[in-house]
Each structure stands twice: as structure tokens, then as C-alpha cells.
A and B are shown apart, each in its own frame.
Chain A
Amino acid sequence: LKVQNRSEEKASTVSLNEEKYLGFRPQRVSVAGGVLSFAKNQTAPIALVILVVVGGIASPVFFTYQNFINILWIVSVLGIIALGQTLLLLTGNFDMSVAYNVGLAGIITVMAQLHGAGLWLSITLGLGAGAVVGLVNGCIVAITGANPFLITLGTSTLIYSINLTITQAKTWYVAIPKFAFLGQGKIFGSVQISVIFFLALAFVLEFLLQRTPYGRNLYILGLNQRTAWLSGIRTNRVKLATYILCGLTAAFAGLIMTSRTGSTVGNAGAGKDFESLIASVLGGTSLFGGRGGTLKTVVGVLVLGVLNNLLILLNTPYEAQQVAKGAVFILVVWLDGFAQQKQK
């Protein structure tokens, strides 16, 4: 029991003091060096500040209350997906099926409404679909031990085929008007309720990560699966639970997205898998597992949102935005790779 306690303690201190270790320098470092090492650890917040300043200079409408609210509103769907993705990344796993899982939840909900289900039943069915997808992903990964990336890429395509089959490649409209509240409803006058959901979920999950045994287990699992197993953590159970959680958050984001547009299509959610990865890693969650947190992901999501907003305000064509996304992704994972190498 002592051994177990010690290893858990060690792992949790490593994860909590991660930032200090990463940028650690002896005391004789110059001011410039100190600034540099600080900057390396705070990439996402610094990028956010720079982007906001650039935005203010480049566009007159950027610094308006309405624009900020808009940014938050737009990113909240991606943000909720990225929160679930972050939990999985912490364990060293991935879920590439979140994209079409988002679509599936919306499609199931709309279809249930069209077949006469009530508001709450349709929402439950939508969320349930997400949980089932998470369960399937988790089971396959846990049983076969295969690369989670490839497996979930496979299930993603499978869900896509299901979505296309259900929708028959047509657009379907929400049948219950009240459902619009989830995506369009406002409180405090002008703040959308989905923004509140996003931020609240981020804080709840951060609490889960930092203050509960389950959260601590995620970090240990991500740092070293074998150590986690030897210290008595039921690794497969933790993995399964996290996959289900990720499926649920994706489904929830899907409900918000569907409620926002009032309709759903077969390829709804496409591209969200990649974007959620970018947002998480941009925020400082490592692709190698064991480092990161959901509040960091909020910053990462905001960076992406502000960047997107800026590109749109500056009338950049859609295609160029895709190039920018790819470039940002490569840059960010490169930095992540360096951080990982340095740690070793």
C-alpha cells in the first residue's frame, strides 16, 4: 500500500508542477533567458494576447462587446468537444470519432422528434447515442490494445456511413421549437446559454482532474500505463469511462450545434475531430499524455476562435483558413514534441 501511495504522490506532483519542470533553468539565467523560458510555458495565453492586439489594430469592429460575445458563442461547440478530447489526451488516448459523433447526436435527436418523441426524451436519446459510441470506442481500444487513433478513425467512418444512411443525404429540421433554447437561448441579456455551459463544464472538469482520484488516475495513466496498472489503478476501467465521457461531451456539443442551426445534415460535424485536437494541444495538453488540463484547453479554444474571427474580419478566403489551420497545427505539435524530448 505504501508503494502505491508513493508512486501516486510522485505522479501527481509531476503533473501539478509540470510547468516549473519544463522551463527550469539554474538561477544565473539572464533576464532575457528568463523571459524566454516563461514565454515557452505560456505559449497559448501569449498567443491569445498577441492575436487580440493584432485584431484591435487590424479591424475597427474587433474591440466591440458584441464581437467578443460572438467569438465565445461560436467557439463554445468546438470548446465542449475539445474538453472531452482533453480528458482522453491526458490518458494518452485519442478520439477521432468526435466529429461524426457530434453529427450523430443531432441526427438522432431530430429524428426522434420527427417520430413523436418529447423534448427530454429526444435529448436523452441523442446523448445516449454519444455514450454508446464512446463505449464502443473504449471497448475496442481496451480489448485489442490497438492504436486508438486508427480505431477511432475507423469508427468515425462507420458513424459517417450510419449518419448518411439515416439522413439519406437530406437536411432535416428540428420539430420542437423549444429545443432552440439550448443553442440560441440567452441569459443576462446577451450571453448565450451555450457559452455558460462551455465555461461551467470546463471548471467542473478541471475540478474533477485536480481534486478527485479519478482525475489523478487520468494523469498517471497518461504518464505511464504500466506504472498505473502496477499501482492498482484499473486502467481499462478508467479508459472506458473517459471514452464514454468524451462521447457524451461530443454528443452534447452536437445537440447545441443542431439547436443553433435548427437543422441537421449527414456530414454535420465534419472536421471537428481535427479542430478539437488542435485546440487541446494549442492550450498546452500534450499528445503524449499526462500533461494538460481543461482550463488550458479553454485558452487554446479561444486562440483558435480569435484567429478564425480575425481571418473572417479580414475577408480571408475559406481555403486560406484551412492552410492556416494546418500550419498552426504543425507548429504546435512541433513545440509539443520538443517539450516532450526535453523532458526525457
Chain B
Amino acid sequence: MKIAGILQKSSGVLAQRSVVILFAVLFVVFSIAVGGTFISPLNLQNVARQISFDLPVALGMTTVLIAGGLDLSVGSVMSMAAALSIGLQANGTWFAVLAALCLGLAVGAVNGLLITRGGIVPFIATLGTMTLVNGSMLTYTRQRPLAGKDDSFTYWGSGSIGPIPVPLVFALVFLVVLSVVYQYTKFGRDLYASGGNEEAAHLAGINVARSRFITYLISGLLAASSGVLLSSLLDSASPQIGTDTPLWALAASIIGGASFAGGRGTAVGALFGVLSLGILANGMDLIGVPTYYQIGIKALILILVVGLDAVLARNLRNGLRRAVP
């Protein structure tokens, strides 16, 4: 067991402590490379606002990953939620927001049903709903950007309380709630158990299908709220919203300690994953890296992170097999 423990520790390269170190290193590197503009309060506030639209999605993705699933439909849910919250404003802003959030829940429910009842592999099922929702969004918006009608709505995305952006408050509330749920509730423990070992969780009396179903609801709801906040910032909805979100949120979650193998990951880890990628994007923008290269760099990061995650998970499994006779 001792060997297993050591292996578990050493294989935590992607675990929480390392993501904090990664964040610190990136921060120092960009502070030196870019100079004053990077650490200016205005830029930091910018980064904070930017990540507050990414954090909810990454939190949802982490939740799904912990229970051993995957959700690729988050990007299309974001854009559809944004389109609804702007497009339905004629019927009242609250109704529009409510409709957007309900859409997130509905897509989450469909994902959950397809995966837990239909026996479809998560990435295939969510790839299908992604296309479906994306097609609906294109039909609804007719591929044109929509403009907002309600000026008070923009406060939720672009307003500030002192130096703190309003959307960041929402994101942090999600973060705290999910942290507490993961660590101090039975549902949270069920999630880790379902993702860590489905068979064992089932034998221990945990309703694996039910916990997984709920993770997709959470992911859909968080993606939709991200879309609503983003549309509030832009005071418009464009079909381009969320095109690279799934990959990006996945990379952030895995950098933050979640694993594709399931059973691992924390909300705080997701925060630092999002922060690392956020300052990376911001730093590259400030240095003036061309957009095409930035796409490539993000792809490389995803490949690296997913590959490393798989190798570490395999090492851990082999180590356990050797350690436990």
C-alpha cells in the first residue's frame, strides 16, 4: 500500500498543488515578458471579467468529469442560451433569462437520458446534442447576431461592484456552492465514487445512473448561465459564441486536476485551470501572438494535457495492481 500511496502522490503532477504552481509560473513569466501592462489593475480586472464567463462552464465540465462523463454540448448550450436571453427580451427580460436557463436544464436532461438510459458513450451522445442545439440556434438566429433591447440587462455582465466585476460574483458563488457540495454532501461523495469505480459504487448501493444524470443537469445549467452572462456583457448574441468552449473547458478542468478516467477533480482546481488558461490567452494577446497561432497553441495544450492525463492514469492503475497482490 505504501508504494501505491507514493505513486498516487507522484502522479499528481496535474493535481491541485501543481496547478497553483503552473498559475504562479505563468503569472511571473508574463509579468516579466509583457511588463507593466500585464499587472496593471485595469488588465487584471479584464482577466477577472473574462474568466468569470469561462469558470461556470469549467465547473460544470469538472462535475461531469468527476462522475466519469464528458459534456461536449456546453458550447452550443452557451450560444443558444445567449440567443434566447437576447431574442426573447420582448416578452420580458426575466422570462428570457428563465427560458435560457430552462434550455440548459433541458439539454442536460437529454444528455443524461441518452447516456444513462440509452447506453451511448458520453462524447458521442453530447456530440449529437451539440449538433442538434447548434442547428436549432442557427435556425433561431438565422445566422445573424441579435441585439439587446433592455439596457438594465447589461448590468449583470458588464457592471462592477467596486473593483469586482458582477459576473465574477456569480462565478464565485457557483464555485463555493459546488465546493461545498463536492466535499460535504452525500451527493458529492457519490459523484467521486461513481467516477472512480462504477462497479464498486453500484455494489455500495449508490445510484450511479442518477448521480450521473444530475451532473449533466448541473453542466447544462452552468453553461446556460455562462451564456446569459456573456450575452449581458455584449448586449447581443452572436452565433460565434462558444465554438471552442468544449475543448477549452475540458483542458481547464484537466489542468485543474480532473481526469478523463473519472473520480478526481475539485472546484478550486477548476478555478486555477481557468485562471492559467485565462492569463495565457491574455498574455499572448498582449505580446501580439497572431490569432492563428493561438488556436494552434491551445490545441497543443489540449493534446499535451489529455495525453499526460492518460499516461498518469495508466501508471497509477499499474502501480496499484503491483502494490495490491
**Interface residues of A, Cβ cutoff 8 Å to B:** 140, 143-147, 149-151, 153-158, 160-162, 164-165, 274, 277, 287-288, 317-327, 329-330, 333-334, 336-338, 340-341
Contact = CB atoms under 8 A, between A and B. Distances in A.
Contacts of A340: 119
A216 B78 CA distance: 44
Task: Kindly list the 4 A-B residue pairs having the minimum CB-CB distance in the complex, ordered from nearest.
Answer: A322-B135, A326-B132, A161-B296, A146-B310
A158 B300 contact: yes
Contacts of B260: 146-147, 150
A337 B300 contact: no
A91 B295 CA distance: 30
Nearest to A162: B296
Contacts of A165: 290, 292-293, 296
Nearest to A325: B131
Given A150-B306, A155-B303, A158-B299, A334 B311 contact: no
B135 A157 contact: no
Given A151-B303, A161-B295, 9 more contacts: A144-B307, A146-B307, A149-B123, A154-B299, A155-B299, A160-B299, A161-B299, A329-B131, A337-B118
Interface of B: 114, 118-121, 123-125, 127-136, 138-139, 142-143, 244, 247, 250, 260, 290, 292-296, 298-300, 302-303, 306-311, 314
Contacts of B303: 140, 151, 154-155, 158
A161 B247 CA distance: 15
B7 to A, nearest CB: 17
A149 B306 CA distance: 10
Nearest to A167: B292
A312 B144 CA distance: 22
Contact of A140 (B129, B250, B296, B307): B307
Contacts of A144: 306-308, 310-311
A36 B124 CA distance: 27
B257 to A, nearest CB: 17
A319 B138 contact: yes
A322 B131 contact: yes
Contact of A333 (B125, B298, B310): B125
B260 to A, nearest CB: 6
A154 B132 contact: no
Given A151-B303, A337-B120, A338-B119, A145 B314 contact: yes
12 contacts: A144-B308, A145-B310, A147-B260, A153-B302, A154-B306, A322-B138, A323-B132, A326-B132, A327-B132, A334-B120, A337-B118, A337-B120
Contacts of B134: 322, 326
B302 A154 contact: yes
Given A157-B247, A158-B303, A161-B293, A330 B125 contact: yes
A148 B118 CA distance: 22
Nearest to A340: B119
A255 to B, nearest CB: 24
Contacts of B138: 318-319, 322
A157 B132 contact: no
A265 B124 CA distance: 28
B139 A319 contact: yes
Given A154-B302, A322-B135, A330 B296 contact: no
Given A145-B311, A157-B295, A320 B129 contact: no
A241 to B, nearest CB: 21
Contact of A330 (B114, B294, B302, B307): B114
Contacts of B118: 334, 337-338
Contacts of B293: 161, 165
A162 B123 CA distance: 26
Nearest to B251: A154
A324 B260 CA distance: 30
A274 B311 CA distance: 27
A330 B129 contact: yes
Contacts of A322: 131, 134-135, 138-139
Contacts of A155: 299, 303
B318 to A, nearest CB: 11
B139 A146 contact: no
Contacts of B309: 146
A162 B296 CA distance: 7
Contact of A323 (B119, B121, B135, B298): B135
A319 B135 contact: yes
A213 B106 CA distance: 47
Contacts of A154: 247, 299-300, 302-303, 306
B306 A147 contact: yes
A158 B296 contact: yes
Given A151-B307, A274-B131, A320-B139, A337 B250 contact: no
A140 B306 CA distance: 10
Given A157-B247, A157-B302, A322-B135, A337 B119 contact: yes
